[in-house]
């Protein structure tokens, strides 16, 4: 089942902050965050694992609430380069190994 992202879209001025949320109805092993610019491939931002371990970007932070099955991505002091669509992926069990199910995305536009 696909995770639900909110908001669907957000417009910021340069320097403003934003929070993007990702929630799932199923227990999560891990949550992955990717950013995709128009016409390009998704690029890795961060992985949050059960138990609190994080792997990823220095300038972007995120949280993972295992009990609530939610994750939030925090973008602070946004820059023009932050514009793009952000996707969360939640890890679930697959027949041959675990796989990611991606949310529908959050479109972020940062204006000067």
**What is the binding site for another protein (CB under 8 A)?**
2, 29-30, 32, 34, 40-44, 47, 49, 55, 87, 89, 91, 94-105
| Between 50 and 111, CB nearer to another protein | 50
In the complex, the smallest distance separating the C-beta of residue 4 from another protein, rounded to whole angstroms, is: 11
| Between 34 and 82, CB nearer to another protein | 34
What's the token pair of residue 96? 């041959």
| Between 73 and 91, CB nearer to another protein | 91
In the complex, the smallest distance separating the C-beta of residue 110 from another protein, rounded to whole angstroms, is: 20
In the complex, the smallest distance separating the C-beta of residue 17 from another protein, rounded to whole angstroms, is: 24
In the complex, the smallest distance separating the C-beta of residue 45 from another protein, rounded to whole angstroms, is: 9
Strands (E), 1-112: 4-6, 9-13, 18-23, 30-36, 43-49, 54-56, 61-65, 70-75, 84-92, 99-102, 106-111
Is residue 91 within 8 Å of residue 98, measured between CB atoms? yes
Coil, strand or helix at 100: strand
| Between 100 and 109, CB nearer to another protein | 100
Cα–Cα distances (Å) from 106 to 16, 64, 73, 94, 95, in that order, read 16, 18, 11, 26, 29
């Amino acid at each position: 089942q696909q995770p639900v992202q909110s908001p669907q879209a957000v417009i910021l001025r340069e320097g403003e902050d934003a929070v993007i949320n990702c929630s799932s109805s199923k227990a999560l092993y891990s949550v992955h965050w990717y950013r995709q610019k128009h016409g390009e491939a998704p690029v890795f931002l961060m992985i949050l694992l059960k138990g609190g371990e994080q792997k990823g970007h220095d300038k972007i932070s995120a949280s993972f609430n295992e009990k609530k099955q939610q994750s939030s991505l925090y973008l602070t002091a946004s820059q023009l380069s932050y514009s793009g669509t952000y996707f969360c992926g939640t890890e679930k069990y697959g027949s041959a190994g675990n796989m990611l199910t991606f949310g529908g995305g959050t479109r972020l536009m940062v204006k000067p």
